[in-house]
Structure 1
Amino acid sequence: MVLRQAVLPTNGNVSAEGKKAANNAAAFGGDESPLFPQFDVVPQSPADHSYIHETNQGVVGGNKWIKRVQKEWKILENSLPDTIYVRAFEDRMDLLRVAMVGATGTPYQDGLFFFDLHLPSSYLAVPPLVEYHSFGLSLNLNIGASGSVCLSLLDTFDGTSRDAKGARNEIIYAEDACLLTLRSMLYVLRWPPAGFEELVRDHFRRRGKFVILACQAYLHKACTVGTLDAEDALRR
């Protein structure tokens, strides 16, 4: 769990200040291309990284491990999807910080979701350790309020049972996920993870107005929550 989470106020002040920040971001409007590089290797690892105090710090796996990590960096540099941003660190090759933009047409649309990764000495034989910047919010079944990330539930639903009750549950789930995404936006605006402040500012400068318009469309029942392409809101 990100340490800041433990000291976040839980009263209504956070929500009010967060809404003000979101409104300020939305006022900029615009949808130009993002300025934040998708991948970069920076000199210094951030002090707020979830694995900054991991016992095996720095170069943990010898020359073979170094070459493997550098190969991974090259893959990331050349192959990242448009909605994913990664920072690697010269002083801590075992650490990565990742930002993902919520996919269009889902309850997570336009959210910014941050993950910290640690590459152990036995990587690739074992997967990286991953922790989500949760701010105390349990975003979905795979991501806990503590920041834990569970992959065991992936690809376990065959999609064959979609009766009326299932469809109704889907709507409730989508509404909850959308509200949690909006709340996470407020926290990210107020406490952006170190090194990604520019991305947060630029993202909400470009996308803030679409977030507000999507909320208005959902509130007025113009469409089902989690199905709106934000640009479509401009035409409603």
Structure 2
Amino acid sequence: MSNQAILRLTREIQQLQQGTDLSLAVHYDDSDIRNVHALILGPPDTPYQFGFFEFSIKFGRDYPTHPPNVQALTTNCGRCRFNPNIYATGKVCLSILGTWRGTREEQWSSAQGLESILISIQSLMSSNPYENEPGFEVASSEHDKRNSEQYVAKIRHETLRLAVIEPLEASLGITPPSDANASLSDNEERELLEEDKPSPVPFADLRKRRFLWYFSAYMQSIDAAMLEYPRKQKFTRMPFEHGNNSMDGHFDYAELKQRLVVIKSALVGEGSNWSAEGLAAKEQEWGIAVNLQRQYEQIMESMKSQNNFTIGLNLVDENPFVWKLTYFGKPMTHLDGGVFEIDIHLSPKFPEVQPRVSMRTSFFHVRVSPDGVLCYFPQRSEEMRYHIDGIVAALEEENPPYDPRTAVNPEASRLFWGTPEDRRRYNRELRRSIERTMG
């Protein structure tokens, strides 16, 4: 690969890493920038919703004249085909990659790049992926319609199991239930445990934070599906599935629900453990402890000089890894009179591991999950003053743009973006929650 091509690829990676697209994340091998790992968040309102799908992308020396090689990694060790165009072997069939026939306009050109590849893959994750199978355009029988519904149903189940639950269990060291892979032989189970180790790329923290955002959405999806698909009901095999290139298994939403709850509990415990780890780091005068203490002092000095009386900030037990933020709603705004207490837990691995932020005060808001987890965005992730600014901005925003990826309270979102009457109900619930903070 020429120096010019390396510079181009570096720029493409940086643009994605610094961009605002919540659906895409990338990381490259420190020893060779041509080896890229990517994570695609399953699009809302599809059976892939909020799943974390990983891909390996290897750029050859002839890039950008020719496309890179792309392999899907979320395949249950080569056992699960997630799409007519995403095989169990990891092959991704796209004309842009030269792995599928297409018109001249659909083929690769040097004007395309990493982002266009990821967006093209994400486009396969549609609300009805059965349509991606060649020949579906002329198929309209009741049999095809039933297959389409069954295909969506099993993808939704396996997205939760394989693209959400199992990677998080691996990164948290949680052993799945003994019957979670009951359909596999003993040798296959041992192989699965060996191959499904935590990913070496830094998507673990992203998964954990997003899991806390979307926990209610996952549970809501499961509760709805449990009514329709009995436990142990087998998946329907599609006409285009054959051999090992398929998605076989059975429904077990009760088990998935139990595993989600265990993961949630482990993540809450992990955040709480940072407090003790932080005090130890402070006593040993680790650089990160000194750095966070100084950041806190600088923020306090800035607030004092600006006469900022809408925010109160202190370290819990003088621990620089546990912050308590108190926000006072400004007069004549939708938060008027509210007193919001917010816990911020930081890891000794900050900023590689980002803070966990939750409301002590129950608050009905599209950006606050039913469990109190706040969805916010700092302009710069390595400085706490930007985190504080991001938290305040999320609370103060009266008319956020519609984006299901940032609306982490399903009921609040339904009302906020519903009918005019729904919006009035949202405002009433919001006001009631604000009044409760005054007590």
Q: Which runs of structure 2 are paired with 1:9-28 in the superposition (5 Å)?
A: none
Q: What's the TM-score, normalizing by structure 2?
A: 0.35
Return closer, same or farther for 1:110/1:128 CA change in 2, 3 Å cut-off: same
Counterpart residue type for residue 208 of structure 1: F
Which residue number corresponds to residue 145 of structure 1? 88
Aligned equivalent of 1:120:
60
Q: Match of 1:93, SS?
A: strand
Tell me the CA shift for residue 129 of structure 1.
0.9
What residue in structure 2 maps to residue 135 of structure 1?
A: 76
Deviation at 1:163, TM superposition (A): 3.9
Residues 132 and 148 in structure 1, CA contact (< 8 A), matched pair in contact too = yes
Structure 1: where are the runs of 5+ without partners?
1-60, 222-228
Contact preservation (8 Å) 1:213, 1:233 = no
1:203 maps to 2:210: yes
**8 Å Cα contact 1:117-1:131 kept in structure 2:** yes
**Residue 2 (structure 2) aligned to one of 62, 69, 73:** 62
Higher relative helix content:
2
Structure 1 residues 116-173: Cα deviation after superposition (integer angstroms, max 9, x where no partner): 1111000112111111112232212222222222222877567464343322121011
Partner Cα distance (1:217, 1:232) in 2: 14
Compare CA radii of gyration and give the structure with the larger one: 2
Counting aligned pairs with the same residue, the percent is 24
Of 151, 155, 158, the residue aligned with 1:180 is 158
Q: CA deviation at 1:67?
A: 2.4
Whole-angstrom distance in 2 between the partners of 1:104 and 1:124: 31
In structure 2, the CA distance between the partners of 1:198 and 1:123, relative to structure 1 (3 Å rule), is same
**1:64 Cα shift?**
2.3
Q: Which piece of structure 1 moves more, 91-100 or 111-120?
A: 91-100
Could you say what secondary structure the match of 1:94 adopts?
strand
Aligned residue number for residue 267 of structure 2: none
2:13/2:26 contact within 8 Å kept: no
Q: How many equivalent residue pairs? A: 169
Q: Which runs of 5+ in 2 are unaligned?
A: 95-99, 102-123, 125-131, 171-197, 229-403, 415-439
Paired with 1:81 and 1:101, the residues of 2 have a C-alpha distance of: 10
| Counterparts of residues 72-83 of structure 1 (less than 5 Å) | 72-77=12-17, 81-83=21-23
* Residues in 2 aligned to 1:168 and 1:158: alpha-carbon distance in whole angstroms: 13
Distance in 1 between residues matched to 2:219 and 2:167, nearest whole Å:
16
RMSD across aligned positions (CA): 2.9
**Stretch deviating more after TM superposition (155-164 or 82-91):** 155-164
Between stretches 129-138 and 104-113, larger displacement belongs to 129-138
- Higher relative CO (Cα under 8 Å, sequence separation at least 6) belongs to 1
State the TM-score, normalizing by the size of structure 1: 0.62
1:193 — aligned with what? Answer: 199
Distance in structure 2 (CA, Å) of the matches to 1:78 and 1:197? 18
- Secondary structure (helix, strand or coil) at the match of 2:32 reads coil
- Measured after TM superposition, the shift of residue 101 of structure 1 is 1.0
With over 3 angstroms needed to count, the CA separation of the structure-2 counterparts of 1:123 and 1:197, relative to structure 1, is same
